[in-house]
C-alpha cells in the first residue's frame, strides 16, 4: 500500500476519523501538563524574572507559524505535481491555523518585549519577519476566498505559495540586513551556549509537542470540513445537471 492512498478523500475521512480523538486527547494532555509545569513549577529566570514563562506559548507558536507554511508549500507542490485534491485542501485548511499561530507569536512577543525591551513593538528582524509572514498568510487566504472555481483556486494559491516562499526567504535575509535587532538567538539549537537550561527545556519540549498535536488535530478537523464542503458542492452540481 502506498502513501498516496490517503490522498483519496474516502480513505482520508476514514483514517482521520480514527486518528482525530487520539490526537486531540494527546494535544490536550501535552498542553495542559506542559503549560502547568512551565507556568507554576519552574523557577524564575535570574535576569528576566517570571516574564520568561511566556516562552511556553511564544516559542511553540513561532515554530508552528513557520512550519505550517512549509507544510503548505509541500502539500501545494503535491497538488501541482500529482493533482491530489486532499493535499491542496489540507493546505487550504492549514492557512488560517498558521495565521493564528503567527498572531499568537506576535502577540506573545509584544507582551514579552514590553518588560524586556521596554516597548510593545520593536522593528526587530524576527518580529518584522513574522509580520510579513502574517501578510503572506492573509494574501493566501484572501485568494482562496476570492476565487469561485475550486480547481482554479487550488492552482493559483499553489503558485502563490511557491512564489511566496521564495520571497519569504529573500525578505528574511533583507530584513536581517535592514536591522540587526534586539531579539535573542533561537531558543532551541544544538550548539548555542545560551540555550535555555534544562529546567525550562523539558516543559518547553512538552509544549512544543502539544502545539504540534494541536495543529494536527485542528488540521484534521478543518480538512474534513473542506472535504465535506467539496463533496456537498459536487453533489449539488450533479443534482443540477441531472
Which position among 33, 74, 110, 174 is part of the footprint of other proteins (CB under 8 A)? 174
Query: CB burial class (10 A; 0-12, 13-18, 19+) of residue 240?
Result: exposed
Contact between 155 and other proteins by CB under 8 A: the answer reads yes
- Cβ-based nearer residue to other proteins, 26 or 96: 96
User: Of residues 116-145, which lie at the interface with other proteins (CB under 8 A)?
Assistant: 132, 135-136, 138-139, 142-143
- Residue from 1, 2, 3, 10 binding other proteins (CB under 8 A): 10
Q: Any contact of residue 167 with other proteins (CB under 8 A)? A: yes
Three-point CA angle 223, 154, 127, nearest 5°: 75
Residue 150 is placed in which grid cell? 475550486
> Could you say whether residue 82 binds other proteins (CB under 8 A)?
no
233 exposed, middle or buried (CB, 10 Å; 0-12, 13-18, 19+)? exposed
Instruction: Give the shortest CB-215-to-other proteins separation in angstroms.
Output: 23
Q: What's the rounded Cα separation, in Å, for the pair 216 and 220?
A: 6
Please identify, among the stretches 2-10, 21-29, 99-107, 190-198, the one whose residues bind other proteins according to the rule CB under 8 A.
2-10
**Looking at beta carbons only, is 45 or 155 nearer to other proteins?**
155
Indicate the residue among 85 and 92 with the shorter CB distance to other proteins: 85
Which one, 1 or 145, has the nearer CB to other proteins? 145
CB of 197 to other proteins, least distance (A): 36
Q: How far apart are CA 214 and CA 60, in angstroms?
A: 11
Does residue 81 belong to the site contacting other proteins (CB under 8 A)?
Answer: no
Quote the CA–CA distance of 140 and 102 in Å, as a whole number. Answer: 14
Residue 54 exposure: Cα atoms within 13 Å on the Cβ side: 18
C-alpha 89/C-alpha 75 separation (Å) is: 9
Give the C-alpha separation, 17 to 4, whole Å: 18
Q: Does 171 bind other proteins (CB under 8 A)?
A: yes
Q: Is 4 a residue that touches other proteins (CB under 8 A)? A: no
Query: Which range binds other proteins by CB under 8 A, 10-18, 28-36, 108-116, 192-200?
Result: 10-18
Amino acid at each position: 500500500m502506498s502513501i498516496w492512498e490517503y490522498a483519496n478523500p474516502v480513505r482520508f475521512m476514514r483514517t482521520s476519523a480514527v486518528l482525530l480523538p487520539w490526537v486531540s486527547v494527546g494535544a490536550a494532555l501535552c498542553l495542559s501538563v506542559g503549560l502547568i509545569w512551565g507556568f507554576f513549577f519552574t523557577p524564575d529566570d535570574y535576569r528576566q524574572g517570571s516574564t520568561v514563562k511566556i516562552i511556553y506559548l511564544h516559542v511553540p507558536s513561532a515554530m508552528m507559524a513557520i512550519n505550517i507554511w512549509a507544510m503548505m508549500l509541500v502539500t501545494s507542490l503535491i497538488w501541482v505535481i500529482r493533482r491530489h485534491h486532499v493535499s491542496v485542501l489540507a493546505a487550504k485548511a492549514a492557512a488560517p491555523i498558521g495565521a493564528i499561530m503567527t498572531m499568537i507569536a506576535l502577540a506573545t512577543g509584544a507582551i514579552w518585549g514590553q518588560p524586556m525591551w521596554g516597548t510593545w513593538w520593536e522593528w526587530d528582524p524576527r518580529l518584522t519577519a513574522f509580520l510579513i509572514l502574517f501578510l503572506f498568510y492573509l494574501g493566501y487566504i484572501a485568494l482562496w476566498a476570492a476565487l469561485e472555481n475550486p480547481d482554479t483556486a487550488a492552482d493559483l494559491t499553489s503558485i502563490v505559495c511557491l512564489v511566496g516562499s521564495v520571497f519569504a526567504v529573500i525578505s528574511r535575509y533583507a530584513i536581517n540586513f535592514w536591522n540587526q535587532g534586539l531579539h535573542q538567538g533561537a531558543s532551541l539549537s544544538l550548539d548555542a551556549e545560551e540555550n535555555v537550561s534544562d529546567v525550562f527545556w523539558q516543559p518547553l519540549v512538552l509544549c512544543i509537542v502539544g502545539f504540534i498535536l494541536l495543529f494536527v488535530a485542528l488540521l484534521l478537523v478543518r480538512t474534513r470540513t473542506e472535504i465535506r464542503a467539496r463533496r456537498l458542492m459536487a453533489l449539488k452540481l450533479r443534482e443540477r445537471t441531472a
